[in-house]
Amino acid sequence: MWREVLRLLKEKKYIPPQRLTAQLNISFNQLEECLLKLKNLGYQIEEDSYLGYYLISSPDRLFPWEIKYNLSTQILGRKIYYFENVESTQDIAFEKFYEGEGTIIVAEGQSKGRGREGRRWLSFPYKGIYFSLILKPEVSYKFSLISLLLSVSIAEAIDDAFGIKVGIKWPNDLLLADKKVGGVLIEGYKRGEFIFIVAGAGININNERKELPSCGISLKEFLGRKINRVDFFKKILESTERNYVLFKKESFLILEKWKGFNVTLGRRVVAISGNQKVEGKAFALDKCGYLLIKKDDGKIEKISHPQIFQQNFKIFW
Ligand code: BTN
């Protein structure tokens, strides 16, 4: 019931208690309980003796009902699991393999946030956005493109929300001023026809300098102002869904979009995969999103996607 009270408070500037109780068919006592619950969750609600209740502010929390409020997606966010703190949202997503496509696991903080290549992902509580999406695409050969898809979608959401263009270092590191503002980790498994992808992303949003590694940057640090994490998260989900729908029809289009943010192609790179080291000029992506490197002897090496099925991989320049 408190969610209904919240919805009405969000819709109107002031709303008299009589209107709330009548519209929701509840007693004044029940209304008081709802308001108390909302205040305990961190909502600031003012009461004016003439005009009624007024929602002053919502808490800086990624509550599922806040994310779903006016969210325009059909698939992503159909179900959202919210946690204050978890070891890793990726692990929770794997436990929920039975859930439908588009289920989201989001946490305010992670004690063992996982990055690529076995690295840690620092997940300062209430400062970033840390989430994992459950995806169940149909055709397996396109999986490697999903990590490009998620990084492109986050890049587009940043452009849309703040008018700034991030760079994407292959395959999916999001860079601002040459520092990492976000990263994507794709894990999954396939058994027979059953395919399960967990697409995770961590984005530094309101972190202060001391809450970031030296190679990291937050949107707040770059823009010089605090960001509304809920609004921005919605934009990420909307752009991801748009791209996902497009991808299901024309998977190669994501490659074109990725190139618009690329900061890898055209540069010299050293790619390390297991005990193999490949050095040369990164010059193209193939249709699966794999990186093509032209070595100094003219030979071309293909670097396959590192995240899928947790292969060990490193790339840097
Ligand atoms: C990277 O750049 O190395 C990838 C970082 C991915 C971090 C996110 S945070 C949410 C999800 N849960 C995890 O444990 N990792 C991913």
Q: Is the CB of 110 under 6 A from ligand 1?
A: yes
Q: Residue 225 contacts by C-beta under 8 Å, 6 or more apart in sequence?
A: none
User: What is 40-70 written as a DSSP string?
Assistant: HTT-EEEEETTTEEEEEE--S---HHHHHTT
pLDDT of residue 140: 59
**pLDDT for position 21:** 92
Q: Which of 18-22, 101-105, 116-120, 140-144 tops mean pLDDT?
A: 101-105
Instruction: Return the domain boundaries, the chain.
Output: 2-57, 64-259, 268-310
What atom in ligand 1 is closest to the CA of residue 112? 14
Dihedral angle of Cα 86, 91, 95, 100, to the nearest 10 degrees: 100
Q: What local confidence, expressed as pLDDT, does residue 315 receive? A: 33
Pocket flag, ligand 1, residue 137 (CB < 6 Å): no
Compute the distance from residue 202 Cα to the ligand 1 centre, in Å. 5
Contact 8, 23 (CB under 8 A): yes
- The region of weakest confidence among 123-137, 175-189, 265-279 is 265-279
User: Of the residues 95, 104, 121, which should be mutated to test ligand 1's pocket, given the most ligand atoms within 8 Å of the CB?
Assistant: 121
182 CB under 6 A from ligand 1?
Answer: no
Least confident of 139-148, 259-268, 307-316: 307-316
Angstrom distances, CA of residue 298 to CA of 168, 279, 289: 26, 11, 21
CA distances from 163 to 173, 219, 223, 226 (A): 19, 12, 10, 15
Q: Is the CB of 121 under 6 A from ligand 1?
A: yes
Cβ(184) – ligand 1 distance below 6 Å: yes
By alpha-carbon position, which residue is closest to atom 16 of ligand 1?
200
Q: Report whether residue 200 contacts ligand 1, using a CB cutoff of 6 Å.
A: yes
In this model, does residue 193 exceed pLDDT 70? Answer: yes
User: What pLDDT, in 10s, does the model give residues 254-308?
Assistant: 999 999 999 999 988 888 766 677 888 999 999 889 999 999 999 999 987 553 2
pLDDT at residue number 317: 20
User: What class has domain 2-57?
Assistant: mainly alpha
Pairing of strands 52-57, 300-303: unpaired
Q: Is the CB of 115 under 6 A from ligand 1?
A: yes
85, 112, 114, 175: residue to mutate for ligand 1 pocket, most atoms within 8 A of CB: 114
Confidence at 142, pLDDT banded by 50, 70, 90:
low
Q: Which of 33-37, 109-113, 231-235, 300-304 has the lowest mean pLDDT?
A: 300-304
* pLDDT value of residue 297: 94
In this predicted structure, what is the pLDDT of residue 139? 61
Per-residue pLDDT at 110: 98
Give the residue, 114 or 277, on which the prediction is more confident. Answer: 114
144 within ligand 1 shell (Cβ under 6 A): no
pLDDT at residue 68 tops 50: yes
Question: How many angstroms is it from 197 CA to the middle of ligand 1?
Answer: 14
Quote the mean pLDDT of the chain.
90
pLDDT, average across residues 145-170: 95
Q: Would you place residue 145 in the very low, low, confident or very high pLDDT band (cuts 50, 70, 90)?
A: confident
The CATH number of domain 268-310 is 2.30.30.100: yes
Fold of 64-259: BirA Bifunctional Protein; domain 2 (3.30.930)
CA 28 – CA 22 distance, rounded (Å)? 10
Residue 313 confidence (pLDDT) above 50: no
Q: Which of 187-191, 246-250, 301-305, 313-317 has the lowest mean pLDDT?
A: 313-317
pLDDT of 13: 85
Q: What value does the mean pLDDT take over residues 167-195?
A: 88
Q: Does the CB atom of residue 150 touch ligand 1 within 6 A? A: no
- Which atom number of ligand 1 is nearest to the Cα of residue 107? 10
Lookup result for tokens 């998260």: 233
* Over residues 79-94, mean pLDDT: 96
